[in-house]
Amino acid sequence: MDSQILINDVEIFNGKEPQTLRGNVLIRNNRIERISREPIPADPAAGVRALDGKGRFLMPGLIDAHWHAYLCCNTMQDLLTSDPSYTHLAAGREAGATLLRGFTTIRDAGGPVFGLKRAIDTGLLPGPRIYPSGAMISQTSGHGDFRMIYDHFHGGCGCEAAHIEQLGASRIVDGADAVTAATRENLRQGASQIKLMTGGGAASLYDPLDVTEFFEEEIRAAVRAAEDWGTYVMVHVYNPRGIARAIAAGVRSIEHGHLIDEPTMELLAANDVWLSMQAFAVEDNTYPSPVQQAKHIEITQGTDRTYNLAKKYRVKLAWGTDLLFNPAKAKDQNRGIAKLARWFSNYEILKMVTRDNAELLALSGRRNPYPGPLGTIETDALADLLLVDGNPLENIELLTEPEKNFLLIVKDGTIYKRQGV
């Protein structure tokens, strides 16, 4: 028998338009079958589960376009010293918490999440939809090179893989042929897109923010291999030179970009490249090393300028959080949404964290693990929905307290939370 859920009397935000619709929504199995202002007949004998929304706000499930489902909930010490089974169990537990924060979909920006994705998709564990990248692909000394200073070897040089590579968190490679092989290996395992590191970062130990990583021909090798599989490459990079090189090589999504200059932002717009940003602030993280902390501060100082330039040139913007190695901060995932209010209207924010993010994820084409419309409430869309106690179009802060304000969480047509409905 088909599973049917009828949500009556709700104020519907479809993810696209600022106007809402007062009406009713029928879900059959994992799809939205009907949306109507008029009552939709419900026959309990036919297995229809009718819920009274009482005029509350119904919206698409949240999407985090830059999340690390494995790396967010394990410290660096965990990764270096713990049995891998412990760190994977931690990721499984965090996946359930992520879903209960209202995130029904995440794009994983690097890490060993293929098993976690399978466990969620098969119903073994609750969690969000995962668009996996697989191991982050880094050059020697790049942002994904998390070896200790006394480790001189890695898998990319034909030696035994470094510990971080054995975990599946990163692949350290040099040269176009090695990049091609690493890309194809991730695709073999089920990556929906490929993640490269093309500039320095804060969390890594060896690469200053101004450095440019991978030659253009190396980046292009990953792009070619990904395009042969019908998908795209996303790159971690903050500085203008690294961004420009990635665009020249055919990259479709720039992750971060906080140190960008105006000519390079114009280049993004001219090439229709996405900017997947995070509203980083100094208080978001505290790094153990003074060098890392100084890099973090420099990055956060570019947040305001980058958002303003992106708005000026109407660059395609996505939103994500990019939490790494800090389990205590995972619960603050929703707060990153509210921080966008400095630059965007509540409608623009809601659209960005639903429909806009879904548009970026759809670049994975035939490698899309969840074919069908996401981030929207429309006929035949995948049934990922939140019922909110209050109107986020009027008060975006409502999204920062999901345990209190999210009364209903539906993912793939299954109810994962029901509170007072």
Examine the domain organization and report whether 159 and 275 are in the same domain.
yes
Q: Is the pLDDT of residue 196 over 60?
A: yes
Range 356-365 average pLDDT: 98
Examine the domain organization and report whether 320 and 387 are in the same domain.
no
Q: What is the pLDDT of residue 158?
A: 57
The domain boundary, picked from 296, 322, 343, lies at 343
Q: Give the Cα separation of 219 and 251 in Å (integer).
A: 8
Is position 129 within any domain? yes
Range 28-48 average pLDDT: 90
Q: How much of the chain is helix, strand and coil, in % rounded to 5?
A: 35, 25, 40
Q: What is the pLDDT of residue 44?
A: 75
pLDDT in tens, 15-30: 999 999 999 999 999 9
Range 199-211 average pLDDT: 91
Is position 367 within any domain? no
Between the alpha carbon of residue 189 and those of residues 1, 112, 113, 182, 371, the distances in Å are 34, 10, 10, 11, 18
Residue 194 and residue 249 in contact, taking contact as beta carbons nearer than 8 Å: no
Q: List the CATH number of the domain containing 11.
A: 2.30.40.10
Q: Is the pLDDT of residue 327 over 70?
A: yes
**What confidence category does residue 46 fall into, taking pLDDT thresholds of 50, 70 and 90?**
confident
Is position 363 within any domain? no
pLDDT in tens, 229-246: 999 999 999 999 999 999
Examine the domain organization and report whether 243 and 145 are in the same domain.
yes
Q: What is the pLDDT of residue 185?
A: 98
Q: Give the Cα separation of 361 and 318 in Å (integer).
A: 10
Q: List the CATH number of the domain containing 256.
A: 3.20.20.140
Instruction: Indicate the length of the chain as a whole number.
Output: 421
Examine the domain organization and report whether 276 and 127 are in the same domain.
yes
The domain boundary, picked from 299, 323, 343, lies at 343
Domain with 37 in it: 4-61+377-418
Closest to 59 in 3D by CA, of 348, 346, 350: 350
pLDDT, mean over the chain: 95
Q: Give the Cα separation of 273 and 169 in Å (integer).
A: 26
Is position 359 within any domain? no
Please report the DSSP string for 198-232 in residue order: -B--SS-SS--TT-B-S-HHHHHHHHHHHHHTT--
Is position 236 within any domain? yes
Closest to 278 in 3D by CA, of 296, 292, 290, 291: 296
**What confidence category does residue 43 fall into, taking pLDDT thresholds of 50, 70 and 90?**
confident
Q: Which residues are CB-contacts of 288 (< 8 A; sequence separation ≥ 6)?
A: none
Is position 362 within any domain? no
Q: Give the Cα separation of 299 and 280 in Å (integer).
A: 8
Q: Give the Cα separation of 275 and 267 in Å (integer).
A: 11
Q: What is the pLDDT of residue 155?
A: 58
Number of domains in the chain: 2
349 compared with 155, residue with greater pLDDT: 349
Counting beta carbons within 10 angstroms of the beta carbon of residue 185, is it exposed (0 to 12), middle (13 to 18) or buried (19 or more)? middle
